[in-house]
Amino acid sequence: MSAQTLNNFSLISRLFGNLFYRAPNDEILAGVFAWLQQKGLEQVWALDVDKHSQAAIESLQMPIATDALQAEYEFLFAGEDSVSCRISDYGINVDEFIAFRHERGMPVVESADNFGLVFLTASWIEDNLESTEAQRHLFEVFLLPCANKFLAKVENRARLPFYRALALLSREILAAMADELDE
């Protein structure tokens, strides 16, 4: 995997982590949606695309009203029978995740029990540590064990294409990086 692909993995992990971690009306995401609509993801996508991934990229980049996306986010992650974003609900030990982050000098967060934060942690490691072992440990112990379950639930429950596409592309980028870490 080239250095550019690794940098793109970090950027995509940060993007996807924030899209899961934060509600669409969060001020931090304001510029993100504008960037997506300007075909930003298409320009940095690090993997080959087939018709499904191309359609998913297009779904993430199409204009959508923030209030509609906010309603979808609330339906998916805060409503009745919502998809849990808590990694503890997928068998992940949150105290071990906190310790993992602390041992590597990562910033303390209010709540570490969130799938989006695990995705963001992958980006932080890529940007701040030259440690394939830390990345491998994150993937094996924290990220991959909950990712498939979480992402499948998001894909099945989403009513709008945005979060289905986000889940599909998340699965693709995580699989590619996991394969790279295995080599």
Please compute the mean of the pLDDT values over residues 130-138 and round it to a whole number.
Answer: 91
State how far the Cα of 103 lies from the Cα of 18, in Å rounded to an integer.
Answer: 23
CA distances (Å), 172 to each of 16, 46, 57, 151, in order? 12, 10, 12, 11
Residue 4: pLDDT above 90?
Answer: no
pLDDT on residue 2: 44
Residue 118 near residue 143 (C-beta atoms within 8 A): yes
Residue 160 near residue 74 (C-beta atoms within 8 A): no
Residue 41: pLDDT above 70?
Answer: yes
The token pair that represents 159 in the structure block = 């009513």
The token pair that represents 77 in the structure block = 């992650």
pLDDT digits (tens, 9 = 90+) for 74-118: 999 997 889 999 999 999 999 999 999 999 999 999 889 999 999
pLDDT on residue 111: 87
Domain that holds residue 52: 3-182
Band (139; pLDDT cuts 50, 70, 90)? very high
State how far the Cα of 111 lies from the Cα of 149, in Å rounded to an integer.
Answer: 20
pLDDT on residue 183: 73
pLDDT on residue 47: 85
pLDDT digits (tens, 9 = 90+) for 140-167: 999 999 999 999 999 999 999 999 999 9
Band (130; pLDDT cuts 50, 70, 90)? confident
Residue 180: pLDDT above 90?
Answer: no
% pLDDT > 90, the chain: 79
For residue 136, the domain's CATH number is: 1.10.3480.10
Band (179; pLDDT cuts 50, 70, 90)? confident
Domain count, the chain: 1
Residue 147 near residue 115 (C-beta atoms within 8 A): yes
State how far the Cα of 110 lies from the Cα of 92, in Å rounded to an integer.
Answer: 17
pLDDT on residue 62: 94
Q: Which of 147, 180, 140 is nearest to 166 (CA)?
A: 147
Q: How far is CA 148 from the centre of its chain?
A: 12
